[in-house]
């Protein structure tokens, strides 16, 4: 048998033909799977097109803040954060402009009993609020005495369409005051579980960028900058290499930036940006960042190390209608088992409360709270929380914090 001018055995020819046939079948199967993914994403685009604008808190007669204690030390630390909010918002709470509601039931016991990430009645109450302050919730692991219910955080992001993950990093003594807007629903993570092996030699994953998804995260970053007196917004991509999806993100960034002439807009590539965060000469120049999902995940962990690690900060998940602010650490059930929950550090959820205040337009109150936290945890430190009776209780620290606010 002659193939390409070379005589080959018939068995080798058949083997080659079989491989071609198998590959063609694999390609057709991959096309079908890819087509279904495209249909799903285009449907999501249509749903986003039907969304309204961001909520205007100034136009509301009343802003409703829901507080979900969560599990473990959650109720103890959210109680202290609620005290701080009530203190700072006292005038508007008394006038009826602001209402703080405690929402019961976002606990692992009830979630397990109803086999639901968020019990329906609890979700209904959450949706009656505008913003949520949330304590840590337990997500069962293998070997835990609970059914394998979905993460309450993941479920809340889906149910409330919280597309912007917002994380601040503040280290005043280093001149660092950063806020990161990470897109929460697209990029490399949108179809992270939907990739497939075309053949045993070829695996494919996908990254997704939509006009609607990109516009809303970038506009959220600029609106935050505008509302909080920030003068610079920086996009982080790899648009020189990932030309279609990252290129689209950067093009839309530039279009929206033109609508905010009083804010400086610039862009950096992710690789050099990770270097500039550790560049003492340049890092203090940055203020607000906006990034696709994967880059945001990576760089916010790097940034958090400057203020003590990923467990030291509050976090926000923001959508057009709802927003949720939370501590990003776990529920620490062992502290409760050992009777130490009153010694739990409430600073992470109090910082989340500061983010909440800023988000709903109480920027002066948020700034006061941030300054007081810096004094109480960095410069003055009259009380120290150790998590045990060797340090202050959460209530004692919160009293100290509010006394400090009073002096500002």
- CA gap 116, 114 in Å, rounded: 5
User: Residue 12 class from Cβ within 10 Å (0-12 exposed, 13-18 middle, 19+ buried)?
Assistant: exposed
pLDDT of res. 311: 56
pLDDT of res. 188: 86
Q: Which pairing describes strands 6-7 and 98-102: parallel, antiparallel, or unpaired? A: unpaired
Check for a shared fold between 53-162+319-408 and 168-312.
yes
Question: Is residue 1's pLDDT more than 60?
Answer: no
How confident is the model over 228-235, as a mean pLDDT?
A: 95
Across the chain, what does the average pLDDT equal? 90
Q: Which pairing describes strands 176-183 and 196-199: parallel, antiparallel, or unpaired? A: unpaired
The superfamily CATH assigns to domain 53-162+319-408 is Isopropylmalate Dehydrogenase (3.40.718.10)
The percentage of residues in the chain with a pLDDT greater than 90, rounded to a whole number, is 65
The 10s digit of each residue's pLDDT in 149-190 is 888 887 898 889 899 999 889 888 899 999 999 998 888 877
Give domain 168-312's CATH number out of 1.10.3720.10, 3.40.718.10, 3.40.720.10, 3.40.640.10.
Answer: 3.40.718.10
pTM of the shown model: 0.77
How confident is the model over 194-199, as a mean pLDDT?
A: 84
pLDDT of res. 285: 96
- CA gap 379, 268 in Å, rounded: 33
How confident is the model over 262-276, as a mean pLDDT?
A: 97
Which of 222 and 196 is assigned the larger pLDDT?
Answer: 222
Tell me the three state secondary structure of residue 181: strand
pLDDT of res. 7: 52
Listed in sequence order, the residues at least 6 apart from 305 whose beta carbon sits closer than 8 Å to its beta carbon are none
| Domain spans in the chain, listed from the N-terminal domain onward | 53-162+319-408, 168-312
pLDDT of res. 76: 96
- CA gap 365, 25 in Å, rounded: 63
User: Residue 112 class from Cβ within 10 Å (0-12 exposed, 13-18 middle, 19+ buried)?
Assistant: middle
The 10s digit of each residue's pLDDT in 276-321 is 999 999 999 999 999 999 999 899 989 988 887 765 667 899 998 9
Residue 54's nearest CA partner among 233, 265, 217, 229 is 217
């Amino acid at each position: 048998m002659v193939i390409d001018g070379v005589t080959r055995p018939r068995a080798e020819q058949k083997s080659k033909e079989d491989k071609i046939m198998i590959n063609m079948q694999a390609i057709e199967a991959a096309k079908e799977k890819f087509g279904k993914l495209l249909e799903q994403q285009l449907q999501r685009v249509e749903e986003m097109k039907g969304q309204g604008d961001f909520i205007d808190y100034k136009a509301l007669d009343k802003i409703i803040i829901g507080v979900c204690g969560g599990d473990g030390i959650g109720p103890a630390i959210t109680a202290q954060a609620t005290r701080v909010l009530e203190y700072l918002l006292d005038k508007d709470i008394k006038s009826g402009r602001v209402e703080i509601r405690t929402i019961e039931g976002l606990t692992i016991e009830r979630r397990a009993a109803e086999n639901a990430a968020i019990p329906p009645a609890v979700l209904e109450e959450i949706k009656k609020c505008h913003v949520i302050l949330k304590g840590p919730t337990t997500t069962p692991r293998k070997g835990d005495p609970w059914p394998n219910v979905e993460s309450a955080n993941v479920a809340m992001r889906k149910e409330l369409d919280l597309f912007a993950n917002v994380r601040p990093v503040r280290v005043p003594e280093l001149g660092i005051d950063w806020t990161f807007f990470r897109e929460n629903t697209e990029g490399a993570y949108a179809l992270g579980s939907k990739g497939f092996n075309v053949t045993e030699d070829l695996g494919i994953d996908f990254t997704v960028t939509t006009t609607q998804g990109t516009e809303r995260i970038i506009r959220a970053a600029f609106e935050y900058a505008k509302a909080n007196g920030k003068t610079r917004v920086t996009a982080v991509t790899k648009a020189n290499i990932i030309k279609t999806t990252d290129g689209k993100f950067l093009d839309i960034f530039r279009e929206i930036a033109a609508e905010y002439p009083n804010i400086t807009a610039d862009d950096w590539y992710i690789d050099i940006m990770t270097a500039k965060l550790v560049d003492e000469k340049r890092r203090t120049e940055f203020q607000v960042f906006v990034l696709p999902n994967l880059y945001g995940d990576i760089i916010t962990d790097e940034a958090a190390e400057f203020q003590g690690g990923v467990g030291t900060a509050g976090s926000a998940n923001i959508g057009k209608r709802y927003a949720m602010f939370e501590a990003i650490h776990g529920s620490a059930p062992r502290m409760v088992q050992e009777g130490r929950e009153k010694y739990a550090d409430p600073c992470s959820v109090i910082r989340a409360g500061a983010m909440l205040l800023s988000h709903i337009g109480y920027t002066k109150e948020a700034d006061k709270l941030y300054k007081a936290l810096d004094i109480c945890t960095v410069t003055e430190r009259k009380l120290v929380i150790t998590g045990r009776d060797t340090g202050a209780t959460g209530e004692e620290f919160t009293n100290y914090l509010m006394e400090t606010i009073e002096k500002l």
